[in-house]
Structure formats: C-alpha cells, structure tokens
Amino acid sequence: MASFNYDDSDSPRDTELSSLVAIYPEIQHPRSDDPYAIAIDIPVNPSKPVLVYFPAAADSNPDPRAQGTLQQNGASHVNGSASGGPLNGTDRVGGAGSAEGAGAGAGALDRHEVAHLPPVHLEIIFGPDYPAEKPPVITISADPPWLSKDTIKRLEDDGPRLWEEMGRDMVGFTYIDHIQQAAENVFELVDEKGTLEVDPQHRIAIMDYDIRARRAAFEKETFNCMVCLDPKKGSVCHKMIDCGHVFCVECLQDYYNNAIKEGDLASVRCLAPNCTKEREQAAVSSSGNKKRKKPKTYISPSELLQIPLDPETVKRYVTLKYKTELESDKNTIYCPRQWCNGAARSKKHKKPQGLELNEHDEDEEEEEETSGVSKPYNATDLLAICEDCNFAFCSRCHQSWHGEFVRCQAPRKNEELTAEEIASLEYMKLHTTPCPTCAAPAQKTHGCNHMICYRCQTHFCYLCSAWLDPGNPYQHFNEMPGGRITGCYQRLWELEQGDGDDVGLGFEGGAGAAPPGAGRAGPAAAAAAADAPEAPPGFEGLPEQRLMELLMADMGESDDEEDDFGGPPPFGDRELDRQLAQRIEAEAQNGAGRGVGEVAIAREGPLVLRIDGGRGGGGRNQPAAGRGRGGGAAGGAAAAAPNGPAAGGGRGGRGRGDNARGGQGAGGANIRGQHQNRGGAPNNRHNNRNNHPNHNGVGAGAARGGRNGGGGVGGAVRGNVGGRARPNPNGPRMDFDNPDNVQVNVPDGIRLDPQQEAWIRQFVHLALEDQEDLLFDDDDW
Amino acid sequence: MASTKRIAKEFADCTTAPPPGISITLPSDADLHTWHVTVTAPPNSVYAPGRFGLILKLPTDYPFKPPTINFTTRIYHPNITNDSLGNICLGLLKSENWKPASKIISVLEAVRNILVEPMPDDALEQRIADEYRRDRPEFEKNARAYVERYAKGSVNFVQAPPPPEKKDGAPAGATTTGAVNPGRAAGRQGGASSGSASRPAPPA
C-alpha cells in the first residue's frame, strides 16, 4: 500500500487529505501513482439487525402456510438476538438458521436476520481542479455487489450535490460521514416491515460475511464464564446456539466430556441455571396459546464439535443417545445374532448417520402412539431387519425370517450362563433397582430414595421400584390420603450412603427378594410373582429377564404346564425355580439372628407370616424399630432347585439406623409345602457355612454371619397362604382348600403353642377370603 | 484446580459482600470445601429471629456436581428433616437439576427463602406440611417453640453423628415418626442441656 505525505500546506487538496488520513487511518491508496485517490471501506452495521430477504424466482405464489411459519421463524430469531447479542442463530458453521432456510426451499422462507452487511467500498479521486472547479470523482462498489445500481448511483450523486451545497468547498469528510450515517440505516433500503430485499445470488456471500463479522465481534468481546467465573476473551468462549449463554471452552469441554464419559446424557445441556425454564416461557409468550412445545434442551452433535469436543467423544454421545432412545422404547426389537445385537430398523428411530442425530418430531411420535393402539394384526409385521447387519428375522421367534405363512418354531435350547454373567446378574439383583418404566437398573450412590431414572426420567422409589408421582414423589414415603401408608413409610433416607458391595449394607431391593416388611407396594409380592398371579407384574424379573433374553437368546413361548395359572411371562422352568430358590432363601434369612427358644409369629408381608423361634424378648414379634429388621445378612447360595441356574444371593435386611445384623442363622421352613423335612431338622447348624446346594429343592439356605448379631440357630417359618400360593409340584402340597388341614412344618427347636396354631389357621382361613386384614386392624398393613 | 479457584472466588464474593442474613466462615482455612453458614431467619418469617447453622459441603468436582447442605440447628420445617441430620430438599440441589453455572450464593438465598415460604408440596416432613396447610397457627406455634429452644444464641456447627443404634425404641421413635412434640422433646432433653441454646447431644 502506498503512503503519501501531503506537505503542501498551500494546496487545499493536501490540507484536506492530510486531515482525512488522520481521521480515517484505514484510508487506502488504490493507485500508487496518484496520492489524491483514496479508498475506504465503510462498514454496514445497522443499528438494529435487519431481516434480509432473498426473493426466489418461484415466489409468485406464496403458500399461506409457509407464511405462517415464516413469521414464527422471524419471531424466534428476534428473540434470540434480544437475549443473545452479536453471535446467534446463524453461528460459525452456518448453524441451524441458514440450513433451515435452505432446507425449506420455499422462497418465502428465505429470510435471515443479519447484523453485518458487507462493507461499501468508497473510492474518491480528488482531481487537480478540486475543490474550486470540480467535485471529487466518486466510485462506490460492494463485494458482493448487493447494492442495486440505482442505490449506487444515488449515493455517488450525493457527492457532487453536497459539494454544491457547501459552496464548492472541501467535501471529503462531509461525504464520508454522510455515507457512514446512511450505512447505519442501510441506505434507507429497509422497508417498513424491517426487511431488506437482496438478490438471491448473493445469499451465501452475505450470510457468510455476517457470520464472520459476528464471530469477529464476539471474539473481541470479553465474557465472564459462568462456570469458572473468570473473565475470558470471546475467542476462547462458546456461545450456546439455542439460548445464547456464553461459557468458556475449557469449562464446556470439561463438563461435557465428563458427562458423556459417564453416560449422563441428560446433563449435556446448557449450563446456566433456569435456562430451559426461561426459554420455555419465552416460547410460550411468543407463540401465544399455540400448542406448547418443549424447547430442545440437549445439545446437537454439531454444536459439540464446534465447541470443540473430540470427535470420538461426540461419536460416543451420538451412539449413546441413540442407544438410550432405543432402549427406552419397549417396542425395540434387537437382532438375535449374538455378535450383532443391533436394533431392528424402525420408522420411529433412525440410526444416526455419522455424527448427526436424526431428530424426530415428538408430536408425530405421540400421534403414532395413540393411533397405533388398535392396529390390526399383520403377519408381515413380524418381519424385522437388523439395521446393523441386515439380518432378516422374525420378531416373535427370533429366528431367521420364515415368511408369514410358517408358524414360529420352538426356541433353541438354552445355553449355560458363564460364571461372569451369573455374577453380573447377581450383583444387579442385589444392588440395583429397576426403573418401573423402562426397567433400566439404577444403583444409588447416596441420598434419599426418591430416584429419577437416568434414562427415561421416571420418578420411582429405590426401595420398592414403585412409580412415584413426579408432582409429589415424597408422598410415597409419607402418609397417603386417607391415612394409608406404603411399606416404604418413613424410609426416605434409608441407604443414604448408597447401595453397593462397598457399603457393607444391603437391602432386598426392588431387584432382589422381598424386603422384609416392604409391604404391598413393595416387591414382597414380586418375590412371590411366580405364585401370585395377581401380584404386580414382577419388577423383579424385568432387567434380568431382559438380560437373560440377551444372554441366552431365550424367548420361550411357553406352552407347557406353566400356563395354567396365567402367571407372569413364561420364563420356563428355570426362572420359576430360580424365583422359588430366591424365595426360600429369603425365608431362610429371616431365621438369621434369632435364637432358639420362644416362638413368635409376626406378619411379614401381605401374605407372609413369620414364625420365629428364639426371641429373647416377649411381646409382638417385631424387631426393635418398626420397619427396621435385624434380619441377618443372609448371603451365599440358598438351595438351588433342580436345574436351577443360579441361586439368588440374599441380602440382609437393613433397618433404619439399625445396624445389628444377624448372626449365624440357618435353615428355614415354610408351610407352603415344598419342605420335605417334615419333622426333621433342616440342618440348622450354627456353622453352616458350606451351603450345599440341595437338589431336592428344599429351602435349607444358610445365612452368612453378621458382626454383632445375636447369633443362634433360628428357624423361620413363613407361610404363604391361600389360593394365591402356587404349590410346588416337587413337594408335598398343602391342602389349602381345607385350611383346617394345614400342617405347619417347623424346624426343630420351635414349638408352636395351640393358640398360635389356631391363629395361623384363622389367618389362612381369612386369607382365602381376602379378609386377612381383619386380623391386623391395629397394624401397619 | 478449577474447582478450588472458583470456590475461592465465590467465598471471597460471599464474605466481602455477604447477602442479607447470611454469614459464612470456614471451619478450617486449609479446606475450602466445607463452609459453615449462619442463616438469620428473615424478619417476615415465622423463624425470626432465629439463627440457624448450616454445613455446606462442596464436592471435589464442584461446580460440576451440586453442593450438599445440612442444617445443624434443628428446625421445624416441612422441607427440612426434623432430626439430627437436618437434610434439606431443594430442587436446585438435586443432581439432575444442578447446573454448573448456579452459584452458592443463589443456593443459600434459596435456603433462606424457604424459611419465608415453605413448600409443603415437596415436603420431607409430611406431617409438618399437613399442619402447615391445615393449621397454620399451630404450625407457627411449633416453629417458634423450636426457634426458642434451638435457634437462639450461638450457632452450633456440630454435625450429627450417624443415627444412633436403637437400643430402646423411645428416642428413635421420635425421629422416625417425625412427630416430635416440642413440649415432649423439651421435657426429654431438658435435664441434659437445660439453658444451653446449642443443639442438645443426641441421646447416648
């Protein structure tokens, strides 16, 4: 670039140019041989962003519907800028705004809010006869040439006009200032609706310039990152595309990387408090009483890449998000090929391509769901095609597609579970509670028992897996209207330190066997799911069932004798036996920690009685704190029923604040009739650490010792009563139809007195008529 | 470490320009992650002029994870457990609601705010919530009685030991049922700590 000295103080041209160069240091000299030719770029930054409208060729017949959308679009754009500042809507890569416009295709939609228009290039030549004789020669241009010829002509003519008006005097500064002021309102090109019409061929250049200019302005600014609270230059900050909040890149990376690593997808959202709420309110107020649509809270993969996050991390985010979506949909069908396990193609969920999520409209989804309720059965619907390996299979029998006219074949024989799989199942059963909606197992790390599913955001109780009303989740732990209480009454803070092996405490959670005293709402019923058809669908079975399916590809269409009680989904014999084993074991646990001696009876669950031997204290046979149990941490293998794949590990009952765990207790008897040791002692040995699997299906579970438990041989007898009980075909069965014939098998060392026996009979009697509660008027049940 | 820097900054903000009714001290200069907060009940609340001790704990990955707050001064309030733990239920503090840009000061203001406006619909103590809704004078009487007994004089920051083992049912029953009658509580604890305004030691 040439630079010149205007030192001839006698020449008015030199005087004017030296002051112009001083005022506008950005002045350039386009001609190296002519010091009197100057050029300057005048930025066109309207004081208020304008809507630039690119009329399309086929815009003669605007669709009224498109018009409506357009207005809405405009509104939301303006909203964005009000809260946002320079960089919004169309951000960095071009962002959602422009993509939207291009995608919509309709010309009427093609309008964008622009804060920075390409500058106007001004070239002025002060000829030798200037200023006295001739006006300066002015050339105006813009790159891209977005200004119309008329406009350029008008602006160019302003020079001589001003020169005349000033009495043919030095007009340089006045003219440049005039153009600058005119640029502020875009040379009066904006119509009364605030839109500026520009030839569509400059669309990309104008958008691009705007984006770059916004970015540059943003980078020059300084922001206080709301997370680290440090002031940061805009160049190391990121402005959230949807809401305009600004954070420093470092904090965003730290937070999102961590959240994605932990699989906590719900946290990948704007970090500002109340952001969603504010946007929701804004959306409601701007769209009037239109159908309320929740603003999107999650962050798009492309924005994560812009922050920038590592593509690998974003990939994981996309994959997890898709997987979560599939898994929370109970209709998802998975590929039966063990090495694949992909999901079947579905219209609702589209497999993400590359790093882009296929966002589906939630409204559509709802419609589909409501209309799909009474869809007629269609055999071709059974055809499923894996989206990963393209395997075509039958969604019912999970074998390769057999056509619509062939009946599904019986499933293959189950394979054995590996020890590792058993251990995982075991752990999940012990230390997790399934979400009642999507069955995702949850493990509590700390805090209260009000859980929110990480996957589907269902509120539920950690103790019993019951669904909780999001409006009032704590009621479950308190008194219900009408004075009713659940088994989790006042147990909100149980297991506050979390659940897991390292905690040292356990509870027989929703996934495990019945927690003593969990009551009706609790899984007490679930443990007995195999027996009690009317019990709530066994939560207990769900995650496991799912895993079992995955692991063993076992989709038994049961058509054998299990059907006669119309019970829960057919697990096959194994599942039944396993539940039985679990139950027996649960019963055995209750024996733990009780000494030999006096016998007492207490009601353990809605249909479960506990008959205890060896209570030191008298009175009601409730452990010290109403719901706290001194139940032993009965672990280990309980008796495995024949063919039983795995015996459930029991977990010690935990009382609120009651750490006294049971001592060595062993044995259990029940009056359900599986017990074959009629009259014989079921090996209640103090040191019964070796838990021999008993292949007769007898509940001889041994309880692991607790620390400070008042050990001792205990015999626990739990009765499961009534027609709901399913007799074990292997054992002598009780004649429930005639309760007077009830025979109570109890282990050695326990004697029931006639009064107690009579009481049990009465309980059974009443239970058969569903009136057992009459016996417990004053009790918690 | 980012977390320490931010905590230091927030602590400086909170101590140089303390929000009304809130004062903060560090129990140990070496540890920025535990704060002792004294909240003076707003004059328009039923708890005025009580002063309440809170322990605010900041996890090592703060501000990515929410702080935890426990009342060390007992309080009769639907949203704060009426036991020696003083657990509090604030939507803001739930990990799924927590936003890293939330500041401690806003948390503390929210805490002070629920003293003015309890939220009986999100109650931890349902019985107190019911009383708050149905029998406001009785609730206020009880709340004042608690303030009189526990929230006067110097503030105590002794955090509750883990819940005592239940040797006999009586004291435990008082906390588990949540139905503590101030009068009864007073009678029971009167012998041990009469005249002392600090929180009485839990029954041995």
Q: What ipTM was predicted for this assembly?
A: 0.71
Alpha helices in A496-601 (DSSP H): 524-527, 542-552, 572-589
Q: Which of B89, B92, B116, B119 is the catalytic position?
A: B89
CA A449 → CA A15, A488, A659, distances in Å? 83, 9, 18
- Does residue A249 belong to the interface with chain B, where contact is any CB pair within 8 Å? no
The highest-confidence range among A342-346, A542-546, A558-562, A592-596, by mean pLDDT, is A342-346
Residue owning tokens 């590792």:
A420
Distance from CA of B158 to the nearest CA of A (A): 19
Examine residue A772 and state whether it is found in any structural domain, yes or no. no
How far is it, in rounded angstroms, from Cα B125 to Cα A477? 10
How far is it, in rounded angstroms, from Cα A70 to Cα A76? 10
Query: Which CATH number characterizes residue A244's domain?
Result: 3.30.40.10
Residue A363 vs residue A451, higher pLDDT: A451
How far is it, in rounded angstroms, from Cα A750 to Cα A670? 13
B50 neighbors B144 (Cβ within 8 angstroms): no
User: What is the side-by-side order of every strand in the sheet holding A37-44?
Assistant: A37-44, A117-125, A137-142
Between positions 44 and 63 of A, the ones with CB within 8 A of B are none
How far is it, in rounded angstroms, from Cα A464 to Cα A466? 5
pLDDT tens for each residue of A261-315: 888 888 888 888 877 777 777 777 765 555 555 667 788 888 888 888 888 888 8
Examine residue A335 and state whether it is found in any structural domain, yes or no. no
CA B16 → CA B8, B10, B22, B106, distances in Å? 12, 10, 12, 16
Query: Which CATH number characterizes residue A143's domain?
Result: 3.10.110.10
Say how many C-beta atoms besides its own lie within 10 A of residue A3's C-beta.
Answer: 10
Min mean pLDDT across A158-162, A611-615, B51-55, B58-62 is at: A611-615
Distance from CA of B153 to the nearest CA of A (A): 30
Examine residue A648 and state whether it is found in any structural domain, yes or no. no
Distance from CA of A474 to the nearest CA of B (A): 7
For the cut 70, the answer to whether the pLDDT of residue A198 exceeds it is yes
How far is it, in rounded angstroms, from Cα A460 to Cα A199? 58
Preceding peptide of A131 cis, ω within 30° = yes
For the cut 70, the answer to whether the pLDDT of residue A251 exceeds it is yes
Token pair belonging to A657: 């604040």
Share of chain B above pLDDT 90, in %: 0
What pLDDT does residue A129 have? Answer: 84
Beta carbons within 8 Å of A459's beta carbon, 6+ residues apart:
A450, A451, A452, A453, A467, A468, A469, A470, A473
Examine residue B7 and state whether it is found in any structural domain, yes or no. yes
DSSP assignments along A58-88, one per residue:
T-SS--HHHHHHHHHHHHHHHHHHHHH-SS-
User: What is the side-by-side order of every strand in the sheet holding A608-613?
Assistant: A599-605, A608-613, A716-720, A669-670
Distance from CA of A498 to the nearest CA of B (A): 14
Same domain for A190 and A323, yes or no, is no
How far is it, in rounded angstroms, from Cα A349 to Cα A295? 20
A335 neighbors A392 (Cβ within 8 angstroms): no
Query: How many structural domains comprise chain B?
Result: 1
Share of chain A above pLDDT 70, in %: 52
A249, A271, A444, A454, best to mutate vs chain B, most B CBs in 10 Å = A271
Examine residue A398 and state whether it is found in any structural domain, yes or no. no
Between positions 473 and 512 of A, the ones with CB within 8 A of B are 474-475, 477-479, 490, 492-493
For the cut 80, the answer to whether the pLDDT of residue A110 exceeds it is no
Same domain for A165 and A266, yes or no, is no
Examine residue A17 and state whether it is found in any structural domain, yes or no. yes
Residue B128 is classified by DSSP as H
- Does residue A626 belong to the interface with chain B, where contact is any CB pair within 8 Å? yes
How far is it, in rounded angstroms, from Cα A317 to Cα A310? 11
Q: Is the pTM of this model over 0.80?
A: no
Nearest Cα to Cα of residue A523 among A575, A582, A483: A582
How far is it, in rounded angstroms, from Cα B110 to Cα B93? 10
Which residue(s) pair with A137 in the sheet?
A: A125
Name the strand (E) or helix (H) holding A667. none
Residue A751 pLDDT grade (very low, low, confident, very high; cuts 50, 70, 90): low
What pLDDT does residue A191 have? Answer: 80
Least CA distance to B94: which residue of chain A?
A447
Query: Which CATH number characterizes residue B96's domain?
Result: 3.10.110.10
In which domain, by residue range, is A247 found?
A: 225-282+294-328
A740 neighbors A761 (Cβ within 8 angstroms): yes
For the cut 50, the answer to whether the pLDDT of residue A700 exceeds it is no
For the cut 50, the answer to whether the pLDDT of residue A85 exceeds it is no
A541 three-class SS: helix
The mean pLDDT of chain A is 65
DSSP assignments along A619-637, one per residue:
SS---SSTT--------SB
Q: Which residues of A touch B121 (CB under 8 A)?
A: 471-472
Distance from CA of B2 to the nearest CA of A (A): 7
Residue A39 pLDDT grade (very low, low, confident, very high; cuts 50, 70, 90): very high
Nearest Cα to Cα of residue A572 among A584, A581, A563, A582: A563
Say which of B101, B122, B165 has its CB closest to residue A227.
B101
Residue A31 vs residue A72, higher pLDDT: A31
Same domain for A36 and A143, yes or no, is yes
Contact A258 B10 (CB under 8 A): no
Same domain for A35 and A133, yes or no, is yes
The region that residue A668 occupies, defined by phi over 0 for left and psi between -120 and 50 for alpha, beta otherwise, is beta
Examine residue A19 and state whether it is found in any structural domain, yes or no. yes
- Does residue A658 belong to the interface with chain B, where contact is any CB pair within 8 Å? yes
Residue B168 is classified by DSSP as S
What pLDDT does residue A724 have? Answer: 40
How far is it, in rounded angstroms, from Cα B46 to Cα A24? 67
B119, B176, B180, best to mutate vs chain A, most A CBs in 10 Å = B176
Query: How many structural domains comprise chain A?
Result: 3
For the cut 70, the answer to whether the pLDDT of residue A558 exceeds it is no
- Does residue B1 belong to the interface with chain A, where contact is any CB pair within 8 Å? no
Contact A628 B87 (CB under 8 A): no
- Does residue B101 belong to the interface with chain A, where contact is any CB pair within 8 Å? yes
Q: Which residues of A touch B163 (CB under 8 A)?
A: 656-657
- Does residue A780 belong to the interface with chain B, where contact is any CB pair within 8 Å? no
Beta carbons within 8 Å of B181's beta carbon, 6+ residues apart:
none
Examine residue B41 and state whether it is found in any structural domain, yes or no. yes
Residue A778 vs residue A315, higher pLDDT: A315
**Taking the alpha carbons of B54, B60, B64, B65 in that order, is the dihedral positive or negative?**
negative
Min mean pLDDT across A165-174, A352-361, A712-721 is at: A712-721
Examine residue A688 and state whether it is found in any structural domain, yes or no. no
Contact B172 A448 (CB under 8 A): no
Examine residue B203 and state whether it is found in any structural domain, yes or no. no
Which residue(s) pair with A450 in the sheet?
A: A461
Distance from CA of B84 to the nearest CA of A (A): 12
Domain boundary among the residues A483, A498, A513 is at A498
Residue A105 vs residue A757, higher pLDDT: A757
What pLDDT does residue A347 have? Answer: 73
Helices and strands per DSSP (H, E), number in chain B: 6, 4
Distance from CA of B8 to the nearest CA of A (A): 11
For the cut 60, the answer to whether the pLDDT of residue B15 exceeds it is yes
How far is it, in rounded angstroms, from Cα B107 to Cα B34? 15
Share of chain A above pLDDT 90, in %: 2
- Does residue A162 belong to the interface with chain B, where contact is any CB pair within 8 Å? no
- Does residue B117 belong to the interface with chain A, where contact is any CB pair within 8 Å? no
CA A26 → CA A29, A42, B195, distances in Å? 10, 10, 80
How far is it, in rounded angstroms, from Cα A760 to Cα A721? 10
- Does residue A218 belong to the interface with chain B, where contact is any CB pair within 8 Å? no
Between positions 717 and 756 of A, the ones with CB within 8 A of B are none
How far is it, in rounded angstroms, from Cα A617 to Cα A629? 15
How far is it, in rounded angstroms, from Cα A467 to Cα A480? 14
Contact A626 B6 (CB under 8 A): no
Q: Which residues of B touch A250 (CB under 8 A)?
A: 2
The verdict on whether B14 is a catalytic residue reads no
Same domain for A120 and A230, yes or no, is no
Least CA distance to A658: which residue of chain B?
B165
Same domain for A131 and A176, yes or no, is yes
Say which of B6, B61, B106 has its CB closest to residue A228.
B6
B126, B133, B175, best to mutate vs chain A, most A CBs in 10 Å = B126
Examine residue A702 and state whether it is found in any structural domain, yes or no. no
In which domain, by residue range, is B112 found?
A: 1-151
Token pair belonging to A18: 């030296």
